[in-house]
Structure 1
Amino acid sequence: MRGIAAGAVAALAAAGLPVFAAPEAQAAACANPSGTYTGAVSWGQRLIDPPKLWPLSRGDGQTVAVIGTGVDKQNAQFGPGQLLGGAGTADSDCDGRGTIAAGIVGAQPQNETTFTGVAPGVKLLPLRYTESNGSAADGGGDPGALAGAITTAVDRGAGVLLIAVPAGSDSPALSAAVDHAHSRGAVVISAAAATQQGAHTYPTASAGVLAVGSTDEAGAPVQTEAGDYLGISAPGANLVSTSAGGGGAVAHRWPVTDPGLAAAYVAGVAALVRSAHPELTGDQVVNRLTLTASRPPSGAHDPKRGWGMVNAYAAVSSTLPANAPGPSAAPARSALPVVVPAAAETRSTSDATAGMVAVGGVVVAAAAGIGVAAFRRGKRRGWKPSRFKA
């Protein structure tokens, strides 16, 4: 939003929605918390079901770069030393989106709240490339500056790059930075955040990026951005997460609806996968996430939801045979694997009920076979992004 009127800001804040103000208004409209969240576990968190995953992986040994508007290090739900400092990092966040995304990835369990991050064992590398002056669909940040942040993340050793605020346009520098990250084995994850018909975000629509669509609890897409480059989907509406501006407290924002935040859930799961399976390449991590996704109702690729909703437990626990298809390989349909997640540890009835959401729709060979068409299309076009036609 640009030039938000004071009344509009108040209305958005009262509704618990994030306020993204123009630079000249930021001093008066910096993010502030809704409070400390003590309500029922939100649907997005139930879907991922972090406690079910933690016996297998907490993300230890992984660094996730949160690239966007910075991260407020004063939020007490980030652990001591969890936010890395040094050259290029930003430990404050007036806009608020970076802090929300970082919390979804790695906020620590706390007795004061029912909210927790997906992978509390990770280190977070907060990088700011934009002060934020609106949604990516309205122009987003400078792609050249985003390219610089991606390069910094790779140079600092991040294995997962979360583009928390994608840009509204591409550039040669941005494409080169993504290629560099891909060549170094990093997993680059970016949300399809555009909310204007026919618009694309970058590097979401670029080759070498896992593009993430977002849905509400009913499964309906949140964003309008669409295309055959969409790889997977995750929660993007009515979310809870950490808030900037809490002044050292365990502070949260809710309910938050932002299609850009879906990528944060996928980044958290990607970190869990990398920690549990350190032998995997970046491409193999992306392949595992898409093969184990819970398919859309049609069973086919959906231009707004990709190959389906992220299935965190299946992604972390499944054993894939060596011939599982990857982004650069398209074996015969008969050679595709059956993906079977490992049995979960026995937990309390309440935990098991929440976990049922996450393990629904385990992928079988027939469903996984649908992904071959996408790999073939990508290979034919040299892994260049196609353009969605309304």
Structure 2
Amino acid sequence: MGSRRTFSRRLGVPGRAGVALFAAGLGLMSPFAAAPASAQTADAPAGTWATPPPLGPGDAPPADSGHPDTTYKKKNECVQRSLGQDVKINFRPWGQDYLQLDRAQQIVRAATGSVGGNQKVAVIDTGVTPHPWFQDRVESGGDYVATPDNGAQPGMQDCDGHGTEVAGIIAGNPKDPQVGFIGVAPDARIVSYRQLSENYAKDDSPQQPSAPPSGGTGAPPSGGESQQPPAGGSSNSQLPPSSGGGTGSGSGTAPQQDNKGDSRDLAKQGTAGTLNTLAQIIRGIADTHRAGVINMSVDHCRPGTAPGDIQEGERKVQAAVRYAADNDIVVVAAAGNVSENCPQNDQADPNKPKSIVTPPWFSDDVLSVGAIQEDGGVAPFSVHGPWVGVAAPGTKIVSLDPAEHSNGLANLTIANGNPSPIQGTSFAAPYVAGVAALVRSMFPHMKARDVVKRLKATAQHPAAPGGRDNFVGYGVIDPVAALTANLPGDTGNLSLPKPVVQEAKLPPADGISSTPMIVALAGTGGGVAALLITLFVMHTIRRNRARSSPPTK
């Protein structure tokens, strides 16, 4: 009791309260301990800038019109192949090894007979080129930029190159053991929606000119992120070994990506794509249930203002992602990339962010994905925030070359003849979307919100209170754990272990006889008894002598 009081007084709290506080502190040291409510939802406390205002009774996502909400015209030509040839890239991307995708795919294949073959993933992006390594597993979802000018179905033309790379990480399948690259769910189907493009701009001319013919050089990088495979380059440009992908410099192309990641932004001046059409597409997918997982590597970033402030387009997206999650769809989004217009949230108070990123802001219904680099650290371009849910590899990306008629891979984006690695949270998100598809394939009766909880619970938690922080959320995803872990409260066909009474297995007796101890104790007891009797007798004799002696004079 003394030590407990001393400890409690040092804390400045009463004794019992000190013990309770000490126990709570021990609980927080475990990444699997119950997290505070704010950490469990990955949101900041209510009333902060980082928390979106709640939806009202009248807030509903807009109906899907199936077409752009304004007229766009092409300003740049589409991405082209590097020097007109395929560059062989046979090494395995580090992200595949880091996530142990081979083992995860073996687990799903053994249990279901395929690796995501019964799943569809909607990719809302810059479109998806039907690369041969998709094996006709890409289907048209819709086009909210323009009618493809190459005769392709809506959503199946990717002028920027970004969407094809994203889809390749999810479901690319070379079917060649000599190729190191493979998608996370290589048997899954992709439903492509072209919702954004930096090669198109709003057409303000009174007469709508016909779209220019496809071809030529140059495709601007789909937005600044280390994205689309190479765009650009003249016939004299030389690529480094093991580079690849489309190219294109050409007039009007965007500047090459920098080390900050993607600078693309929805509703950015001079580009195609709005928050309104994003909300429409999400609503349409939920109404038709075209896919069980949505990947959105598209973001809208704006300065943080004050609690309760929200733009009209943001509110529509908020209602749409809530609608999709309520209709059993896993919604995954890139956490966003630092750029000139989207500064890093490195301020002292994390609940008053410099930048608000949509859709990740709506983390109650969206699983937002930050990026890590090869050493496991947080990628410097990955935007921080209380809405970050998990993280995945986002640097040195290898994926399908998005240029038309290409049958190879890309690991660089090229603008104005300058190569840069492909990187960004845009490419971390599809890793998570692919794993979500595998989990849905493995546990077909598991609801979407439970899939998201499973991905968070099995992630490699950071050493932070509640097992999460504002950099990687609940941690880097762990595909093998997500597919095999038995968790409390699991749903679907996942069997939980039954409690078993454990037998107490004490060590055997040492075999030493107890007789000597008994004899010793008996002897000691006898000696004590004899001593007591002797003392009693002596006391009695002295008392009797005292009584018989004559009094002293």
Give TM-score, length-normalised by structure 2. Answer: 0.51
- Which of 40, 51, 76 is the matching residue for 1:26? 76
Q: Is residue 2:166 matched to residue 1:101? A: yes
Superposed counterparts of 1:1-390, under 5 Å: 26-27=76-77, 30=79, 32=81, 35-57=86-108, 58-73=115-130, 75-80=131-136, 82-85=137-140, 87-88=142-143, 89-111=154-176, 113-132=179-198, 134=223, 139-140=265-266, 141-154=273-286, 155-168=288-301, 170-195=313-338, 196-197=343-344, 198-206=354-362, 207-222=364-379, 223-254=381-412, 255-298=421-464, 300-322=467-489
- Alpha-carbon distance in 2 for matches of 1:129, 1:201: 17
Q: 1:286 to 1:175 in 2, by over 3 A?
A: same
Compared with structure 1, are the counterparts of its residues 144 and 263 closer, same or farther at alpha carbon in structure 2 (3 Å cutoff)? same
Distance 2:293 2:141 in 1: 18
Q: Do 2:81 and 2:403's aligned partners in 1 also have CA atoms closer than 8 Å?
A: yes
Paired residue total: 302
Question: Which has the larger Rg?
Answer: 2
CA offsets per residue over residues 343-374 of structure 1, 9 Å max, x none?
A: xxxxxxxxxxxxxxxxxxxxxxxxxxxxxxxx
Higher deviation after alignment, 253-262 or 268-277: 253-262
CA-CA distance at 1:193 after TM superposition: 1.3
Instruction: Report if the CA contact (8 A) 2:92-2:179 is conserved.
Output: no
Distance 1:259 1:87 in 2: 24
Question: Per-residue displacement from partner, 1:168-216 (whole Å, max 9, x unpaired)?
Answer: 3652221221111011010000011130223232111113000111011
Find the aligned partners of 1:31 and 1:248 in 2 and give their Cα distance.
9
Match of 1:84, SS? strand
Write the distance in 1 (CA, Å) between the matches of 2:423 and 2:443. 32
Q: SS of 1:174's equivalent?
A: helix
The C-alpha deviation readout for 1:275-303, integer Å capped at 9, x for no partner, is 00011111100010000001225574221
Q: Which secondary structure does the structure 2 equivalent of 1:182 belong to?
A: helix
**1: CA distance, partners of 2:291 / 2:460:** 27
Structure 2: unaligned runs, 5 residues or longer: 1-71, 109-114, 144-153, 200-222, 225-261, 267-272, 303-312, 345-353, 413-420, 498-553
SS of equivalent residue, structure 2 residue 332: strand
Q: What letter matches 2:120 in structure 1?
A: T
Letter in 1 for 2:431: Y
- Are 2:125 and 2:193, in contact at CA under 8 Å, matched by a contact in 1? yes
Q: 1:202 and 1:137, CA in 2 relative to 1: closer, same or farther beyond 3 A?
A: farther
SS at match of 2:436: helix
Distance 1:40 1:275, change over 3 A: same
Question: Structure 1: how far apart are the matches of 2:80 and 2:356?
Answer: 26
8 Å CA contact 1:72–1:92 kept in 2: the answer is yes
State the AA in 2 paired with 1:149: I
Cα deviations by residue, 1:98-122 (Å, 9 ceiling, x for unpaired) = 0011000000133252111000121
Q: CA RMSD for the aligned pairs?
A: 2.6
Residue ranges of structure 1 left out of the alignment (5+ in a row)? 1-21, 325-336, 339-390
Q: Distance in 1 between matches of 2:116 and 2:490?
A: 26
Percent of pairs with identical residues: 30
Q: Which moved more, 1:144-153 or 1:46-55?
A: 46-55
Seen in structure 2, the aligned counterparts of structure 1 residues 31 and 185 have a Cα distance that, compared at 3 Å, is farther
Moved more, 211-220 or 264-273: 211-220
- Matched letter for residue 454 of structure 2: R
Letter in 2 for 1:93: D
Change (3 A) 1:231 1:246: same
Say which is worse superposed, 210-219 or 33-42, in terms of deviation. Answer: 33-42
Q: Which amino acid aligns with 2:197?
A: E
Instruction: Work out whether residues 151 and 180 of structure 1, in 8 Å CA contact, stay in contact via their aligned partners in 2.
Output: yes
C-alpha distance in 2, partners of 1:210/1:228?
12
Shift of the alpha carbon at 1:124? 0.3
Contact 2:318 2:359 in 1 (8 A): yes
Matched to 2:388, the amino acid is L
Q: Structure 1 pair 49/138, CA: closer, same or farther in 2 (3 Å)?
A: closer
- Structure 1 138/263 Cα, relative in aligned 2: closer, same or farther at 3 Å? closer
TM-fit CA distance, 1:38: 2.9
| SS of corresponding position for 1:266 | helix
Query: What is the CA-CA distance between 1:237 and the residue it aligns to?
Result: 0.7
1:113 is paired with a residue whose SS is coil
1:245 maps to amino acid: A
Q: State the shift of 1:59 in Å.
A: 1.1
CA distance in 1, matches of 2:449, 2:481: 17
Going from structure 1 to structure 2, the CA distance change for 1:218 and 1:248 (only over 3 Å counts) comes to closer
The alpha carbon displacement at 1:145 in A equals 1.3
Instruction: Give the 3-state SS of the residue equivalent to 1:55 in structure 2.
Output: helix
Contact conserved, 2:141 with 2:191, CA < 8 A, in 1? Answer: no
